[in-house]
Chain A
Amino acid sequence: MSYVPSHVNPSLLAQPQAITVIEHTAGTSQTIANGNRIQIGTVHNWYGSFSPTIATNQVTLPSGYYYYVESTVQAYQLNVGFNLNGYITYKHYDETNTADIGVTATTWQAGSGPDYQLFARDSVARALIDCTTSGIDFSVKVSAFLNCDRINYNAAQYIYAGLGRTVIWQLES
């Protein structure tokens, strides 16, 4: 995320075309497996009027724009003995061109050690996608995990963590 000092004239900064948040599907049965598409659900159009098409957990990004996309998930240990040091790594995947895009993220539970310094990890996957000439379908996929077996789990304990989301910034080309 870039930063503009207050002494800089910001008159050339643009408004985004739209900001849309996709609420991931919450439930008790979504298991974790490498390569699985994370289940996504309700679209919340926060700014502008972009409401992407969603089919089989893939999001369609129309052509004519740049897109900045962020995704994060919640994970939980249900049948794995409540082990320490659980994690899940995930990424954005270009379904149209069958390629990983952007940077991966790892949401993890540190165990009983200090976790307040927020060091050395990024728990939001990010991608800047150029759709100025052609649109794509993308998904959020699991690429690695340990000691957690449910994702976006909304039964016991879910109240202590946020559930998964994908934030899409639609930017003018």
Chain B
Amino acid sequence: MSYNQRTTTTVTPFAQVTNSSNWGIGNTFQPDTVSETWLTSVTGGYEFIGKGYMFGFLIPTGIAISAVGVGDDTTPDRYTCGYYFYPGNAGRAFSDDEFVNYGTTVRHRKVDPYYWPQASDQSRINVMRVEG
């Protein structure tokens, strides 16, 4: 299928946030690399004026059991969270690795961590602008 965009933009609507080394997880940690200039720096992440769909995952570097979400809230909705999981631990609930969200700010937030190590440099957050 193909489309004609209704709202013309001059930049790609796809952006990715990564870090060049392991992520120091916390509410104020900011990954150091962002692929598009329309994501601007704020404490704890990146944001832009408008709305976007976010998805991503964190890969732990050590023992970890936790859900992870993104967004402005410190406790993202449970149905938007991904699972931060290593090694397996029988008796824990398990679910998808990927978190999803929709909003105006890219910030990772931890939720109810059981163990909480760093995340590897392969972790990432992707943003798709859905409004011009």
Contact = CB atoms under 8 A, between A and B. Distances in A.
B57 A118 contact: yes
A104 to B, nearest CB: 14
A4 interface: yes
Contacts of A107: 94-96
B122 to A, nearest CB: 9
A117 B85 CA distance: 10
A12 B95 contact: no
A51 B81 CA distance: 22
B128 to A, nearest CB: 9
Contacts of B12: 4-6, 8, 10, 13
Nearest to B78: A163
Q: How large is the interface on B (under 10, 10 to 19, 20 to 34, 35 or more residues)?
A: 35 or more
A12 B12 CA distance: 10
Contact of A73 (B14, B65, B91, B95): B95
B67 A118 contact: no
Nearest to B94: A109
Contacts of B35: 6
Contacts of B4: 12, 14
A149 to B, nearest CB: 12
B91 A77 contact: yes
B79 A21 contact: yes
B113 to A, nearest CB: 9
Interface string A104-119: 0001111111111110
Nearest to B64: A116
Interface in B41-79: 51, 53, 57, 59-61, 65-67, 69, 77-79
- The main secondary structure of chain B at its interface with chain A is loop
Interface residues of A, number: 60
Nearest to A70: B100
Contacts of A47: 51, 53, 102, 130-131
Interface string A67-87: 000001111110000111010
28 contacts: A4-B14, A5-B12, A10-B9, A11-B8, A11-B10, A12-B4, A12-B5, A15-B130, A19-B130, A47-B51, A47-B130, A72-B95, A72-B98, A73-B95, A74-B94, A86-B94, A111-B87, A113-B87, A116-B61, A123-B98, A160-B65, A160-B92, A161-B83, A161-B85, A161-B95, A162-B78, A162-B81, A162-B95
Interface of A: 3-6, 8, 10-16, 19, 21, 23-24, 26, 46-47, 66, 72-77, 82-84, 86, 107-118, 123-124, 148, 153-154, 157-165, 167, 171-173
